[in-house]
Amino acid sequence: MKLNKPKIKNSNKLYKEAIKYIPSGTQSFSKGVTQFVNGFAPKYLDKGKGAYTWDVDNNKYLDYVMGCHPLVLGYADKDINRAVKDQLDKGSTFSLMNKLELDVTKKLIEVVPSAEMARFGKNGADATTIGVRVARAVTKRDHIAYCGYHGWHDWYIANTDLNDGIPKFNNKLAHSFNYNDLDSLEKIFKRLPNKVAIVIMEPVAVSEPKCFSSSICKKTSCKIKCQNTFLHEVQKMAKHYGALLMFDEIISGFRFSLGGAQELFGVTPDLTSFAKAISNGIPLSAIVGKKDYMKVLDKTFFSFTYGGDCLGLAAADVCIPKIKNKDVPGHLNKVGKILKDGINKSACDHGLTDYFECIGYPCRTILAIKGNKKNNDLHLKSYIQQELFRRGILWTAYHAISWSHKRKDIEYTIKAFDEVFEKAKKIINNNKSVKYLIEGESVKPVFRKVSDFNSYIIKNK
């Protein structure tokens, strides 16, 4: 396999200028220099096509970040591009409503179990935050139980170490619980009787929802659609305590299944947020839900100039049917399984299963990394990332597979991991640290989230 250290002269030149005018030099922490080996990795991308991107120094990469997940079809999809260009010729923002608002709403209602009505935003955080507001309006309660990552707004970020500028009362109203741990959720309800408005959670991220039907199936990944998983129990608990249930399907929507994780697991929440794959990277988000709750938006303020902007809607109007007609989730799972199995076989072959394991659903896996007191976890991640960059792969621990990732791309990636694991094995077996082989600055967490149970979770968004 050909090895090349990326030439990043133009990237570095742009960044040197950018930090004079842009705080942190970036618009998104997850795309900034802390998430990639600074000094080795590129900083600016110039273009993309399919599963590949090119940086400003014209280095080519097989991309597994895919814009932080939204590019489920791939970069510059011809059908999405055509729809957006055609709409741009007509106009993007109007003085009155546009028919696309109704067209896309109907498509969502057709494929998403919880969708009886819909409203649109531009970012995922728009949709999660209005969901919280709707629940508070419905229940006349203030407190929130949450699990997962839900965006940049005060109610969520108050409980992280990036909470400067947020009034302190916010962190007293939001309470985290642990995935697959019903007791951690019930403790919140019992500590705050008749005060919790909403349970908002990512229905699936990495771990599978635990199955409680041991008499029916022994494994969490049931061959039948189990009716007694962690998600079913959360739904029952929320209803019992009078709170609404909202699934944050910003990542899982249209990726794990056409109708999202709720369709995959057979659990219909009261409200759901979507973004990312809904429009293949053209900015759009949506909150959908049961009519009784969505009608609250008649009197709950959710209104802004770019609500109903037609470019994102035009993209979604084409994207949703294409995901269905091409069975994109089926493809993601097929090639994702090959990648997952290949990485794990390579780790096993090199005797590194105590250090590396590819985990999660095939459509969106993550390389779990453990230093085991011999190496710092983030140093190991940095080293793996660096060596994959050297082999032309853009990677930051997770694999956001797209329709454009084909079998040959997956096979190339497995070969690259095999080569990197071979090098890592020699370092680990000789009790050496990879720290001194990192040709730049090690990656850092985006933020630390402080849970209600006094533990720290490093969150690489």
- Tell me what pLDDT residue 217 has: 56
Residues above pLDDT 70, as percent of the chain: 94
- Torsion, Cα of 13, 14, 16, 20 (10° steps): 150
* Per-residue pLDDT at 218 exceeds 60: no
Residue 214: which pLDDT band, with cuts at 50, 70 and 90?
A: low
> What DSSP line would sit under 304-327, residue for residue?
-TTTT-HHHHHHHHHHHHHHHHTT
**What beta strand segments (E) does 259-391 contain?**
271-274, 285-289, 356-359, 364-369
Q: What is the pTM of this model?
A: 0.93
- Tell me what pLDDT residue 431 has: 87
**C-alpha span between 325 and 322 (Å, rounded):** 5
Q: How far is CA 104 from CA 189, 268, 283, in A?
A: 36, 20, 14
Q: Delineate the domains of the chain, giving CATH numbers in brackets.
A: 9-63+327-449 (3.90.1150.10), 78-325 (3.40.640.10)
- Tell me what pLDDT residue 205 has: 86
- Tell me what pLDDT residue 321 has: 98
Token representation of residue 10 = 């133009």
Residue 450: which pLDDT band, with cuts at 50, 70 and 90?
A: low
**Higher pLDDT among residues 112 and 220, named by residue:** 112
Segment 169-177 mean pLDDT: 95
Segment 35-52 mean pLDDT: 97
For residue range 146-157, what is the model confidence (pLDDT) as tens digits? 999 999 999 999
Contact 402, 66 (CB under 8 A): yes
Contact 440, 386 (CB under 8 A): yes
**C-alpha span between 16 and 14 (Å, rounded):** 5
Contact 271, 289 (CB under 8 A): yes
For residue range 118-170, what is the model confidence (pLDDT) as tens digits? 999 999 999 999 999 999 999 999 999 999 999 999 999 999 998 999 999 99
Closest Cα to residue 402, out of 80, 112, 28?
80
For residue range 197-212, what is the model confidence (pLDDT) as tens digits? 999 999 998 889 998 8
Give me the phi and psi of 272, to 5 degrees please.
-145, 140
The one-character DSSP state at 439 is S
Residues above pLDDT 90, as percent of the chain: 88
Segment 342-366 mean pLDDT: 97
For residue range 425-441, what is the model confidence (pLDDT) as tens digits? 999 998 888 999 999 99
- Tell me what pLDDT residue 448 has: 67
- Tell me what pLDDT residue 458 has: 36
For residue range 246-299, what is the model confidence (pLDDT) as tens digits? 999 999 999 999 999 999 999 999 999 999 999 999 999 999 999 999 999 999
Helix (H) or strand (E) holding 357: strand 356-359
For residue range 322-352, what is the model confidence (pLDDT) as tens digits? 999 999 999 999 999 999 999 999 999 999 9
CA dihedral sign, ordered 384, 6, 392, 444: positive
Contact 288, 114 (CB under 8 A): yes
Residue 453: which pLDDT band, with cuts at 50, 70 and 90?
A: very low
- Tell me what pLDDT residue 330 has: 98
* Per-residue pLDDT at 216 exceeds 60: no
Residue 373: which pLDDT band, with cuts at 50, 70 and 90?
A: confident
For residue range 377-428, what is the model confidence (pLDDT) as tens digits? 999 999 999 999 999 999 999 999 999 999 999 999 999 999 999 999 999 9
Give me the phi and psi of 156, to 5 degrees please.
-95, -50
**C-alpha span between 172 and 170 (Å, rounded):** 5
Q: What type of residue sits at position 46?
A: D
Residue 449: which pLDDT band, with cuts at 50, 70 and 90?
A: low
Helix, strand, or coil (residue 303): coil
Contact 247, 274 (CB under 8 A): no
**C-alpha span between 248 and 348 (Å, rounded):** 34
- Tell me what pLDDT residue 2 has: 81
* Per-residue pLDDT at 223 exceeds 50: no
- Average pLDDT, rounded, for the chain: 93
